[in-house]
Chains A and B, each alone.
Chain A
Amino acid sequence: MAFAHLLELDNLQTHLKLRRGTVRAVDGVSFAVDGGETLGIVGESGSGKSMTALSIMRLLPRSGSIVGGKVTFKGRVLTDLSEDEMEAIRGGEIAMIFQDPMTSLNPVFRTGWQVGEPLRIHRHLGSTASIKAAVDLFKKVGIPEARRRVSQFPHMFSGGMRQRAMIAMGLSTGPSLLIADEPTTALDVTIQAQILELLRGLNREYGTATILITHNLGVVAGMCDRVVVMYAGRIVEEGRTDDVFAHPEHPYTWSLLRSIPRLDAEGHEPLKPIEGSPPDMMRLPTGCKFQPRCPFAIPRCSSEEPALSSVRRQQSRCWVTQSGTELAG
């Protein structure tokens, strides 16, 4: 491939204009995804994960707009494309899967017809051909009795099956990037595991790069080559999943990892919740945005915001670790 990266975000800034004021939902986010790679984006609700994804697709809600930075995909600057050009990318080159499988399928259409829709839009297939293709896609994503299932309506599908159908729809055109926005949040645990297994298998088989947005660190650990941790619209830590999980270099990541139960924990270490509450995006603190909740904060943290820079083998936005101090306690 002639491009440095499949997808590259460069200082992306997305603002939401609300009645109460402007929210900098995505504030200077930069990262890259290479072909075939799986990147995890984690963060709590409101940290800007979904807004980042919708900015890439340019499907922001009416109140949102990209005010700075650029998104480059296969050497094309998406943020500069016309709406027509963007429509060819959506569903053709980049596909997206959403959180709520209950409402992400149209209730009045048969699932086979819906799954064939991208093929009718991008490959100009006819109805019959697109539904035949849907039968094959259903088989690929593990929907049993595919031939019968294509003529059923979404309400006859379970949540897991709907999510499989959504994945089938996303993959129908063979996109090179799949953005999955919390694809398993609304599913129960056993189904979650199946869907993740499916995504992993498809990623291996077709080499589709995947951005997996989640607030579940376990999902990231099992799925992703690299991980981006977001807080208050910024990336606070980025690196290879193994490195970040073994040695978090940002107090937020460190706290997140200590707040989830682990089967392999030594002794009886109590779970430590993160103190305080998620930041008010209208009134962010000066300096480091995590500083009010940070157990390691030093005076400098509340006056100056650190940049994202190399710490050990990853990138971190923290004065403490950048100065060489170990996070422990």
Chain B
Amino acid sequence: MSNATAIIAAEGPVRRAPIALLQVARRNRGVLIGLVLVLALCVVAALSPVISPHDPIATAPDDAYLPPLSPGHVLGTDELGRDQLSRVLWASRVSLPVALVAVAVGLVGGGLFGLVSGYAGGVTDLLLMRVVDALLAFPALILAIALVAALGPSLRNAMIAIGIVAIPVYARLVRAVVLQLKQMEFVVATRSLGATPLRLVLRHLIPNLMNPILVQVSLSAGFAILAEATLSFLGLGAQPPTPDWGQMITTGRTFLPNDPWLAIVPGAAISITVYSFNLLGDSLRDALDPRLRS
């Protein structure tokens, strides 16, 4: 290996995240399938205006209650004659961004809590962790519902509520890893090189957190989608006429005896999405666990 390539290779402080993810995916089939599914869902969400056969909001009372596989409507139509396939596709543009924002809120909020708590220790740790415990004391969904009820039902508030609910998970995860890292001599060693505490945390500790966080992000994205669907199902998320999976189930529920596909189609969409994220998260956890690595 020539000098130049070695230096370029050594320059990346961490195995650059996306590349590392691809390497893991190549070795682990679960990660690969999960990754492909999640990416496919993202592509579907991005392209849904192009690939949807119909306008998801346009009603056509004459075509109402068409069963799946009807000509022109592969997944049938709903009680107002709207194309189910188009609605399901468009609804992914609600669910995926909500999951993204909620995870970001949870990660940033919980990450900060955990970092400060773990690194500072002492009274700071005690106080912050009691706040986290308080959040954790409520069942996640009940807390999200209560928060949205307090903030007012809207998609934005649903995102915030789901994000807040995710905070304790990240706070505890990050704190636990930081406490573990603090035992290692490189923390004092890095300080002894003249690194400021801020540099130590940002450049030396945070890269150590990437693996567990990556796993948690995939898992909590699955939870966020489920939570968003639940909130919308209860009328606390996306408001009509925006197509949304949870909301479609609410409507479809009424027609369950005669036209079950109205609820089954969006339900399947939720299942597939949550399954994709969970598969990715679970496989990543196995693939990145050093104890299981051969």
Contact = CB atoms under 8 A, between A and B. Distances in A.
Interface of A: 54, 57, 59, 62, 87-92, 95-96, 98-100, 103-113, 117-118, 121-122, 127-128, 131-132, 134-135, 147-148, 150-151, 166, 169
B207 A109 contact: yes
A90 B188 CA distance: 11
Closest 8 CB pairs of A and B: A91-B194, A91-B193, A112-B10, A151-B9, A151-B10, A104-B185, A103-B184, A96-B192
A121 B207 CA distance: 18
B208 A128 contact: no
Contacts of A117: 190, 193, 195
Contacts of A107: 208
B6 interface: yes
Contacts of A147: 1-3, 6-7
Contact of B193 (A131, A134, A169): A169
B204 A135 contact: no
A95 B195 CA distance: 12
11 contacts: A54-B188, A59-B188, A87-B195, A89-B194, A90-B193, A98-B188, A103-B183, A108-B210, A121-B193, A135-B3, A151-B9
B121 interface: yes
B196 interface: yes
Given A59-B188, A113-B11, A151-B9, A118 B208 contact: no
Contacts of B186: 103-106
Contacts of B257: none
B199 interface: yes
A90 B208 contact: no
A151 B185 CA distance: 22
B6 A151 contact: yes
Contacts of B9: 110, 151
A151 B2 CA distance: 12
Contacts of A54: 188
B7 A150 contact: yes
B194 A88 contact: yes
Interface-central residue, A90, A117, A150, by most chain B CB under 10 Å: A117
Interface in B1-29: 1-3, 6-7, 9-15
B188 A135 contact: no
B194 A90 contact: yes
Contacts of A106: 186, 190, 204, 207-208
Contact of B194 (A92, A99, A135): A92
A165 to B, nearest CB: 11
B139 interface: no
B122 interface: yes
B10 A131 contact: yes
Nearest to A122: B194
Given A90-B192, A147-B6, A150-B6, A62 B11 contact: no
Contact of A108 (B7, B14, B121, B183): B14
A99 B185 contact: yes
Contacts of B195: 87, 91, 117, 121
B189 interface: yes
Nearest to B12: A110
Contacts of B185: 98-100, 103-104
Interface of B: 1-3, 6-7, 9-15, 121-122, 183-186, 188-196, 199, 204, 207-208, 210
A253 to B, nearest CB: 29
Given A90-B192, A98-B185, A104-B186, A150 B208 contact: no
Contacts of B10: 110-113, 131, 134, 150-151
A150 B4 CA distance: 12
Given A103-B184, A109-B14, A87 B192 contact: no
Contact of A131 (B7, B122, B196, B204): B7
Contacts of B3: 135, 147
A139 to B, nearest CB: 12
Nearest to A119: B193
Contact of A118 (B6, B193, B207): B193
Contacts of B183: 103
Contacts of A105: 186, 189
Nearest to A169: B193
Quick one: which of B6, B122, B207, B210 has the most chain A CB within 10 A? B6
Contacts of B121: 62
A108 B210 CA distance: 10
Contacts of B208: 106-108
B122 A62 contact: yes
- For B13, B14, B15, B196, which residue has the most chain A Cβ atoms within 10 angstroms? B13
Contacts of B207: 106, 108-109
A77 B174 CA distance: 38
A128 B3 CA distance: 11
Nearest to B122: A62
Contacts of B122: 62
A67 B210 CA distance: 40
Given A104-B186, A105-B186, A150-B7, A113 B191 contact: no
